[in-house]
Amino acid sequence: MKRGLFIGRFQPLHKGHIEIIKKILREVDELIIGIGSAQESHTLENPFTAGERELMILRSLAEEKIDLSRVHIIPIPDVNNNSVWVSHVLSLSPPFHVVYSGNPLVCRLFREAGFTVRKPPMVKRKEYWGTEIRERMVKNKNWREFVPKAVAEVIEEIEGIARLRELAQTDYPL
């Protein structure tokens, strides 16, 4: 059985993530999706909790008719020490054989630990980019076209737009 690991913050999960997940699932029997920076929430960079992000992932994969018995989702809180980060991930995860990441640091750390690392091709990176999507939410610009329908529904359910807009406010007069 070949099992892969794909780590992201998924703030929020977008259509680019979905395309990468589909591609990886054509290469492995099972996929572990690691929710990075799991302890982070309620900030402009990380507005959603690990549980909210897991809900977005599960509902989106189900919406795409992806066999959920092939997917494991694990929260991965930061340890803020790169030299022990891979062992930290290993302690939280089922065993895996290959790591998929576009993050240069993640790639380096797993390669140094002896893992096969593959860099999945980015899909419409300028559009499918969490920072851009969050900024569109704050500025009341179209963002729904960049995320699966299930993600938009979760964000509405948790009042995520209001959360982001409130977080973007400043106490300094303009």
72 lies in some domain: yes
Q: How far apart are CA 68 and CA 58, in angstroms?
A: 8
157 lies in some domain: yes
CATH number of the domain encompassing residue 145: 3.40.50.620
151 lies in some domain: yes
Q: How far apart are CA 15 and CA 129, in angstroms?
A: 9
146 lies in some domain: yes
> Which residues are paired to 75 by β-bridges?
35
Q: How far apart are CA 125 and CA 46, in angstroms?
A: 19
Half-sphere exposure of 113 (CA within 13 A, CB side): 21
Number of domain units in the chain: 1
145 lies in some domain: yes
Q: Could you tell me the residue range of the domain that residue 51 belongs to?
A: 3-168
What pLDDT tens digit does each residue of the chain (174 aa) get?
999 999 999 999 999 999 999 999 999 999 999 999 999 999 999 999 999 999 999 999 999 999 999 999 999 999 999 999 999 999 999 999 999 998 999 999 999 999 999 998 766 656 667 889 999 999 999 999 999 999 999 999 999 999 999 999 875 555
Query: Residue 78 is inside which H or E element, if any?
Result: none
Query: Residue 118 is inside which H or E element, if any?
Result: strand 116-118
Retrieve residue 1's tokens. 């059985």
- Please say whether the beta carbons of 167 and 42 come within 8 A: yes
123 lies in some domain: yes
- Please say whether the beta carbons of 25 and 2 come within 8 A: no
173 lies in some domain: no
Q: How far apart are CA 12 and CA 5, in angstroms?
A: 19
